[in-house]
Structure 1
Amino acid sequence: METLPTTTFSSSSKSERRGRSSKTSSKPSVIMAFFSCVAWLYVLGRLWQDAENRVILNNMLKKNYDQKPKVLTVDEKLMVLGCKDLERKIVETEMELTLAKSQGYLKSGSSSKRLLAVIGVYTGFGSHLRRNAFRGSWMPQGDALKKLEERGVVIRFVIGRSPNRGDSLDRKIDEEDRARRDFLILENHEEAQEELPKKVKFFFSAAAQNWDAEFYIKVDDNIDLDLEGLISLLESRRGQDASYIGCMKSGEVVTEKGGQWYEPEWWKFGDEKSYFRHAAGSLIILSKNLAQYININSGSLKTYAFDDTSIGSWMIGVQATYIDDNRLCCSSIRQDKVCSVA
């Protein structure tokens, strides 16, 4: 009986196979271990780099916080921007120009020759008939008005603008001015009863800007003038700087609300409640430098209930020469007065 063939393996062949098998399986492990080490090194490097970046960033933030600017005042901000010096230079230049003009080195206005006077006659939108009455009596018209200006006297009706700019009231005044050429229109002033104290600031400012004159005169619209008598009075006062001329008075301050001549700020005038000395509002004369003072400081000058007391309050604070002239008391019975109530 035949026996099946059998295969026998020697111990040497078995060990050889195990050796080959172990060598083959160890290569991927080594490769994996290598890449694993590389990955760990990369991660550690990034972590280290991030830690350094955080330290640097913290140091920069701390440095910037320490150098954070303090809260600046307005003056400090202006100083940083260079505006403070510019503001000071502008103020100094304005003062120098004003001084030069007052000393005759510069001419203001359109006239090359200094006038004797600029007379501003207050008027309103509803005063057309009264203006015509003045034009037909003491106030020259047309060529006669031009000849008067050649003598050194300018006369203008003074009016502001309507609260409703450009309406029929404004258009009628513009038409009348084109025909007569005898208005000084205050573009920045609103013509209203409660705004009258402010009107005097706008008038003296505009007159000083437009004409170079010895005197600037405010006249109410209910006053007739002896024009030649007024010119003679002004001629005698030529060259008198800081002159505040008028019919001086010091009346009682009305404290009762709703009463005629009521002064809302009556409590400012002391226990006796009397106004300081001031020229009556019917006719007020200021010399050139006083009109310029109002022009320069118009924005900060305080007004009271009436224009004459407002001007009087401004004159208290400057070196004004008060000249009380009875010829300017329009309601008096003097024969030689230069004004009268119309």
Structure 2
Amino acid sequence: MEGLPTTTKGERRWRSKNMQTSSPSLVMAFFSCVAWLYVAGRLWQDAENRKMLSDILKKNLEQRPKVLTVEDKLMVLGCNDLDKRIAEAEMELTLAKSQGYLKNHLRQSESSSEKKLLAVIGVFTGFGSYVMRQTFRGSWMPRGDDALKKLEERGVVIRFVIGRSANRGDSLDRNIDEENHKTRDFLILEGHEEAEEERPKKVKFFFSTAVQNWDAEFYVKVEDRIDIDLEGLIGFLEHRRGQDSAYIGCMKSGEVVSEVGKDWYEPDWWKFGDEKTYFRHATGSLFVLSKNLVQYININSASLKTYGFDDTSVGSWMMGIQATYIDDNRLCCGSIRQDKVCSLA
């Protein structure tokens, strides 16, 4: 009779042993899978990092300066040459400015059909000098608008030069405006405050304003305490016509006064050295500048240093440029020469 399958004792022992040995294998297989996944993840992350680094290196390589070719070097040299030419042009422009040349002035003179004036004469005056002005108008200076126009037809402009009152629009200003309305012989410096201590600045304002208003060979500064031989001065300037860079006057030098309260005290006395002596300059009673020197003053007015007096201030400006000093004692108003063009009033 066939019965149910039976197992022997040996078979049961083998199966039990087989089940015991398969459990560690499963654990090892699990950890192997986990380790493989970890390694695969790291390899993937490393691949991404390598790709990112590769992209960065490629970008950097593209941005690196390339090796200069001959053409590149020639282009660089060309730029350097252009920079050099620009620097030279700037130096030439600075030189032209220092010599008093302005483009708009050249255009005006080229386009103007009017004859160039011989001289603009500025007679420095003040608010309290009405009597002196009246004396001049009746002596060497033409009186009236018609007489002034006839003189201008000969190439000479004469104006009394004055600034404005510290209290703008007061009676001092109004009196000058009324006088000028009658006589038409003032050059009023609107931007200048009329005061004795401001006279060095006044001479800058005068030259700058005069050269902008009139095209002349010469510009003459005159004090209102001297008399002028007008025909003699005109003849003197006619003889000098066409002479550029001319600084003409009665040249002098002298001691720099360093003591406060004394006549001719110079606030900047310490700048003149141990000997305290002024440089060579034309006396302030009467001196003449050619047009290009006046243009130089006009261009550089803001940076030109003024000293205690107008004549020494102008002399200091002339020292720094190629001015031709012309010392003529006919312009020394206190001299005893018979052919002098000025005398003390």
TM more than 0.5: yes
CA distance in structure 2 between the partners assigned to 1:191 and 1:159 by the alignment: 7
Map of 1:324 onto structure 2: 327
Map of 2:293 onto structure 1: 290
Q: Please tell me whether the aligned partners of residues 125 and 169 of structure 1 are also in contact (alpha carbons under 8 angstroms).
A: yes
Map of 1:306 onto structure 2: 309
Map of 1:270 onto structure 2: 273
Counterpart selection for 1:114 from 113, 116, 121: 116
Secondary structure, aligned partner of 1:293:
helix
Note the 1:1-342 alignment, pairs <5 A: 98-100=101-103, 104-107=106-109, 112-142=114-144, 143-342=146-345
Q: Please tell me whether the aligned partners of residues 109 and 208 of structure 1 are also in contact (alpha carbons under 8 angstroms).
A: no
CA distance in structure 2 between the partners assigned to 1:202 and 1:312 by the alignment: 16
Q: Please tell me whether the aligned partners of residues 113 and 212 of structure 1 are also in contact (alpha carbons under 8 angstroms).
A: no
CA distance in structure 1 between the partners assigned to 2:335 and 2:313 by the alignment: 23
Root-mean-square deviation (CA), in Å? 2.5
Secondary structure, aligned partner of 2:210:
helix
Q: Please tell me whether the aligned partners of residues 100 and 295 of structure 2 are also in contact (alpha carbons under 8 angstroms).
A: no
Q: Deviations over 1:267-304 (max 9, x none)?
A: 11111111000000000100000000001100000000
Secondary structure, aligned partner of 1:107:
helix
Q: Counterpart amino acid of 2:256? A: V
Q: Please tell me whether the aligned partners of residues 108 and 211 of structure 1 are also in contact (alpha carbons under 8 angstroms).
A: no
CA distance in structure 2 between the partners assigned to 1:183 and 1:97 by the alignment: 26
Q: Counterpart amino acid of 1:279? A: A
Q: Please tell me whether the aligned partners of residues 192 and 202 of structure 2 are also in contact (alpha carbons under 8 angstroms).
A: yes
Q: Deviations over 1:212-268 (max 9, x none)?
A: 000000000101000000000000101110000000001111111110001111111
Map of 1:43 onto structure 2: none
CA distance in structure 1 between the partners assigned to 2:334 and 2:254 by the alignment: 15
Map of 1:17 onto structure 2: none
CA distance in structure 1 between the partners assigned to 2:342 and 2:110 by the alignment: 29
CA distance in structure 1 between the partners assigned to 2:268 and 2:129 by the alignment: 30
Return the offset for 1:105.
Answer: 4.6
Secondary structure, aligned partner of 1:106:
helix
Q: Deviations over 1:78-102 (max 9, x none)?
A: xxxxxxx9xx99x969959934467
Structure 1 pair 92–246 and aligned structure 2 pair: CA distance change class (3 A) = closer
CA distance in structure 1 between the partners assigned to 2:103 and 2:210 by the alignment: 18
Structure 1 pair 110–188 and aligned structure 2 pair: CA distance change class (3 A) = farther
CA distance in structure 1 between the partners assigned to 2:205 and 2:170 by the alignment: 21
Q: Deviations over 1:146-179 (max 9, x none)?
A: 1100000000000000000000110110111111
Following TM superposition, the consecutive aligned residue runs of length 4 or more in structure 1 with deviations greater than 3 angstroms are 91-102, 108-111
Kindly, what percent of the aligned residue pairs are identical?
74
Alignment coverage as a number of residue pairs? 254
TM-score, L = length of structure 2: 0.70
Structure 1 pair 111–179 and aligned structure 2 pair: CA distance change class (3 A) = farther
